Amino acid sequence: MLKGKKVVVGITGSIAAYKVPFLVRLLVKEGVEVRVIMTPVAKDFVTPLTLATLSQHAVIVDPFKADNGEWNNHVELGQWADAMIFAPVTANTLGKMAHGIADNFVVTAYLSAKCPVFITPAMDLDMYAHPSTQNNMAILRSFGNIIIEPQIGELASGLTGPGRMEEPESIVQILKDHFTRQHDLDKKKILITAGPTHEKIDPVRFIGNYSTGKMGFSLAHEAAQRGAHVTLVAGPTNLTSEHPNIHRIDIESAEEMYQICMQEAPLADMVIMAAAVADYTYSRQSPIKLKKGSAPLLLELSPTRDILKTIGANKKNDQIIVGFALETDHESENAKRKLISKNLDFIVLNSLNETGAGFGLETNKISIIDRSGTVYQGKLGTKPAVAAEILDFIVKNRTIQP
């Protein structure tokens, strides 16, 4: 599957550079044509000679001059590559990539890339956690780059935490998966909802829930990576939507989400309703702040409209409708009932009883139920990994018309 692919491997100055010869070797074994480029500091961690020997090609370090005195052409490399993998990427290079500071050949080649770009950060845990690093990663994601998140483990500093560069075998697998999936949702229109809704009581108070929107945003990002045109209807959240294929519409209440979804759903090939929509709203919103009193305050709530049920009732033949069910008890039973009553193709079950699953966590563990009642058990993973798992399952189990 990787045979014949052309891949640029860009190395920067981190101790994790010692892993890159293994990466290059694995890629070459898969039949990949590899060109290695390095920053000057990376040479202190791993030698160009090792990498040239393994890749069977000269390694480029100097931005301007090859050994034979010729100019190193980053633009040509950008046109040539089917993928670029930057590994390891230091906090310094992340910043340069995010802000276009092209003072070495690695960043210059990155800026010339016309292909998918994989960025594999490696650094100490505090540097990784710093808002500056996190912001730079968010910027890079917003350009459509794929960040291969570092692993949690022992770091060169002796500390333990996130920052360890992903292992070469996993990077190769991610690349394989990418080329398999790359076009499996090409030009499909997908409507995804995410996050909570806020039902206003007065100008300063609302009824909400603990949803952060991470699962829905991960689904939107993953679908966009696979070529889909995503409309993301997002409830109040601090998350950023990170792909040029994502058209984001922010809403606040269940009714606003309903209105947008009614416009968008008929245009969609697939609808994924991951939002935690309020079931009740307060219809007598006060235009001014309610004042404290000594008597109990009773709020009469009225039911919101069930967005997914309406979409399911109007489902077109070739449309795929996916719901979510968050359950605390009788999980499968409740989810199956929702699947049928809302006329869905699949329902993704989130159980609050699963360790590692739930609101605000970085990880999730789901199961997916289809119309025959078959239950697919997912694995515990990061929300982006679970998003990929959900889309893999849907694509595999339901042929989407080209």
Active site residues: 209
In the bound state with ligand CTP, the residue whose beta carbon lies nearer, of 23 and 223, is 223
In the bound state with ligand CTP, the residue whose beta carbon lies nearer, of 147 and 277, is 277
Q: Binding residue for ligand CTP (CB under 6 A) from 306, 354, 370, 392? A: 306
Cβ of residue 246: shortest distance to ligand CTP, in angstroms? 19
Phi first, then psi: give them for residue 389, nearest 5 degrees. -65, -45
Q: Binding residue for ligand CTP (CB under 6 A) from 8, 87, 192, 308? A: 308
Q: What part of residues 232-291 is at the interface with ligand CTP (CB under 6 A)?
A: 254, 273, 275, 277, 279
The H or E element that residue 280 is part of is: strand 280-282
142 to 4, 145, 207, 393: CA distances (angstroms): 29, 7, 31, 25
Binding mask 180-209 for ligand CTP (x = CB under 6 A): ------------------------------
Q: Binding residue for ligand CTP (CB under 6 A) from 74, 229, 338, 383? A: 338
User: Tokens for 174?
Assistant: 């991610």
d(CA 29, CA 104): 29
Question: Interacting stretch for ligand CTP, rule CB under 6 A, among 18-26, 57-65, 80-88, 303-311?
Answer: 303-311
Cβ of residue 341: shortest distance to ligand CTP, in angstroms? 8
Cβ of residue 343: shortest distance to ligand CTP, in angstroms? 12
Cβ of residue 338: shortest distance to ligand CTP, in angstroms? 5
Q: 3-state SS of the chain: helix, strand, coil percent to 5?
A: 35, 25, 40
Number of residues that bind ligand CTP (CB under 6 A): 14
- The closest of 78, 77, 24 to 51, measured between CA atoms, is 24
In the bound state with ligand CTP, the residue whose beta carbon lies nearer, of 125 and 326, is 326
Which residues 6+ apart lie within 8 Å of 99 measured at CB? 136, 139
Q: What part of residues 311-330 is at the interface with ligand CTP (CB under 6 A)?
A: 323-326
In the bound state with ligand CTP, the residue whose beta carbon lies nearer, of 168 and 196, is 196
d(CA 85, CA 31): 16
In the bound state with ligand CTP, the residue whose beta carbon lies nearer, of 96 and 214, is 214
Cβ of residue 306: shortest distance to ligand CTP, in angstroms? 4
Is 217 an interacting residue with respect to ligand CTP (CB under 6 A)? no
Q: Which 3-state string (H, E, C) describes 331-388?
A: HHHHHHHHHHHCCCCEEEEEECCCCCCCCCCCEECEEEEECCCCEEECCCEEHHHHHH
d(CA 87, CA 121): 7
- The closest of 267, 273, 368 to 319, measured between CA atoms, is 267
Q: What is the C-alpha end-to-end distance of the chain, expressed in Å?
A: 22
Cβ of residue 193: shortest distance to ligand CTP, in angstroms? 6
In the bound state with ligand CTP, the residue whose beta carbon lies nearer, of 167 and 306, is 306
Q: Binding residue for ligand CTP (CB under 6 A) from 34, 175, 307, 366? A: 307
100 to 9, 133, 331: CA distances (angstroms): 19, 15, 49
Residues that bind ligand CTP (CB under 6 A): 254, 273, 275, 277, 279, 304, 306-308, 323-326, 338
